[in-house]
Amino acid sequence: MDERLAAAKERGWREVATIDAAYEAGEITDAHWYEAMAALVVPAYLAAETPEAGSGSSRDAAGWEWARSGIAKAVEPGWCFLDVGCANGHLMESMAAWAGVEPFGVDISPELAELARRRLPQWADRIWVGNAATWEPPRRFKAIRTGLDYVPADRRPDLVEHLLGFCDRLVIGVANEERDTPGFEGELASWGYEIAGRSVRDHPHPQLVYKAFWIDAK
């Protein structure tokens, strides 16, 4: 394994690989997988000193915009947009600025959801706590953004199907993916979904790209 490449894709790749291996071996349950991932992510997000770091990015403000603003291609002004795994809410406020959407958020961590409410009091009633794999929103959205790595690998098809029941467009990403490989898009295609659009941008690592793509509900 190219450890530099793995680290560029995911800073905590060793810890994540250990958790995934335990899950695949049947040593931990779904609930334990979510708990282990939260223990890895939540303390770091809460201790972050910048909005970008508190939303999982190691980039500065300009780097954050370059990496994430490709998502804006998937939406139109005025759309109701739900960010799954909203963390501190920084993508919510960014998408409102970049694309003129009406932002909403949900996070599995009560601590992160509360942080987002404190940062964005004007949208506090739009930020919920829930596991998106099973959570049922109180309303429908024009677009929902999620990551496939928010659930164990064998639960990804279920996550996609579940979220498509509450939106017209499901956006996947942004993910750090190897250049010229199908990545998560290939997974969705293998499950029978038609890709409606994508955004691909250069990553600081020459072998990687920032990638988001989206599918539409039928």
> pLDDT digit string (tens) for 7-32?
788 878 899 999 999 999 999 999 99
pLDDT attached to residue 1? 61
Whether the per-residue pLDDT at 166 is higher than 80: the answer is yes
Task: Supply the pTM of this predicted model.
Answer: 0.96
Give 81's strand partners. Answer: 103, 143
> pLDDT digit string (tens) for 69-120?
999 999 999 999 999 999 999 999 999 999 999 999 999 999 999 999 999 9
Domain architecture of the chain: domains with CATH: 3-216 (3.40.50.150)
User: Residue-wise over 153-191: b if at least 16 C-beta within 10 A, else e?
Assistant: eebbbebbebbbebbebbbbbbbbbbeeeebbbebbeee
Whether the per-residue pLDDT at 55 is higher than 70: the answer is yes
